[in-house]
Amino acid sequence: MALQFQGLKSPFDCILFDLDDTLYPAETGISHATKKNIDEFLAIKCDISAERASSLRVELFRKYGSSLAGLIALGYDVHPDEYHSYVHGRLPYDRIASDPRLEQLLDSIPQPKILFTNSDRQHVTRALARLGIQEACFDQTICFETMNPHLFEETKDAISTSSEVVLKPSAKAVELAVCIAGFDPQRMLFLDDSERNMAMGKAVGLKTALVGKRLKTKDTDYALENIHNLTKEVPEIWNLNRKAKEEEIEPKRSDLDAMRSPTPVEA
C-alpha cells in the first residue's frame, strides 16, 4: 500500500510517529519498567546475576540495537513472542493516562500519519487503548512484526532464513518506513524521543523532530518538550507561519478539513 498526499504548501507529505516516550511522556515510567523487565529476562535466559544483566542490556543495546536482537545474534533460542510477553506483558499500563487532546491533535494533521515503533503489536494496542487513541487514527502501523515477518515464519529453514532483527535505529528499519510510506524522505517528518533514531532518520534523509527535549541536536530539525507542542514548534505541518507559533494559535478545524487530502489508497 502506498499513501497519497498532495502537499499543498506544507513542506511535509507524511508524518512518522514513534510511540513510547513520544506519544506519552517519559515520566510515566514505562521505559524504566521495560528496562527492569528486560534485566529480569536476561538474568533468567542467560543465567546471570541481576547486576550483570543490567550492564549486559546496555551492551546489547549499543551493539545490536536491542536486547532481543543481541540475544538472537548471540545464538540464544528466544522467540520474539516469548520476549515481548515477558518484557511488555507485565508493564504498568495504568500509568499511561487517557489523552483526548492528543487524539484531537492527531486528527487535525492533514498529512498521512504512520506509527513507527520498535514495540510489538500487542504493546501498541495496549498503549494506544490507554491513551484513548484509535489505531485507525494512523494510516499505517509499522511495529516489530511489520519489520520482522521472517522471525514468525512457521517452517523456518535454519540455513536460508535470516534471523536478523530489524529495528530502529538501523538504516534498514528507517528505509523500510520510507518505502512503506512511498514519499520522498526529504518531505517526511519523523518524530521520536531517541537521539540515535533521529541520527539515522537524518542520515536516510528525513526531517527530524526530537520529542521530550527542549534543544535541538545536530541531527534534529526541531525539538519539542512534549507532543502537545507540535502545533507551536512545527506549524509548517499545517502550513501555518511562525506567527502562529508566536501567538500559539491552534489550527482551526475548518481550515484543516479543507486541507485534508484523499484517504490512503491501495497501490
Task: Report the candidate in 69, 78, 86 with the shortest Cα–Cα distance to residue 46.
Answer: 78
> Smallest distance, Å, CB 15 to Mg ion?
15
Q: Segment near Mg ion (CB under 5 A), from 96-104, 188-196, 204-212, 238-246?
A: 188-196
Chosen residue from 18, 39, 139, 145 binding Mg ion by CB under 5 A? 18
Please calculate the CA angle 261-206-196 and round it to the nearest 5 degrees.
Answer: 135
Exactly one of 20, 39, 221, 236 binds Mg ion (CB under 5 A); that residue is 20
By the rule CB under 5 A, 39 interacts with Mg ion: no
Contact 182, 202 (CB under 8 A): no
**Contact by Cβ (8 Å): 37, 91:** yes
Cis preceding linkage at 169, omega within 30? yes
CB of 79 to Mg ion, least distance (A): 23
* CA 116/CA 19 separation, integer angstroms: 7
* Strand ranges, E, within the chain: 14-17, 113-116, 140-142, 188-192, 207-211, 222-224
Interface stretch with Mg ion, choices 20-28, 67-75, 181-189, 217-225 (CB under 5 A): 20-28
| Residue with Cβ nearer Mg ion (193 or 236) | 193
Q: Kindly tell me which residue out of 120, 193, 221, 236 binds Mg ion, with binding defined by CB under 5 A.
A: 193
What stretches of 18-111 adopt beta strand conformation (E)?
Answer: none
Query: Among residues 26 and 244, whose Cβ is nearest to Mg ion?
Result: 26
Q: Which listed range, 9-17, 162-170, 185-193, 239-247, lies at the site for Mg ion (CB under 5 A)?
A: 185-193
Is residue 195 within 8 A of residue 223, CB to CB? The reply is no
Q: How far is the CB of 22 from Mg ion (least distance, A)?
A: 5
Our CB check for Mg ion shows the closer of 18 and 120 to be 18
The crossing angle, in degrees rounded to 10, of helices 30-46 and 50-64 is 110
Q: Which is nearer to Mg ion, 193 or 238 (CB)?
A: 193
Binding-site ranges for Mg ion (CB under 5 A): 18, 20-21, 193
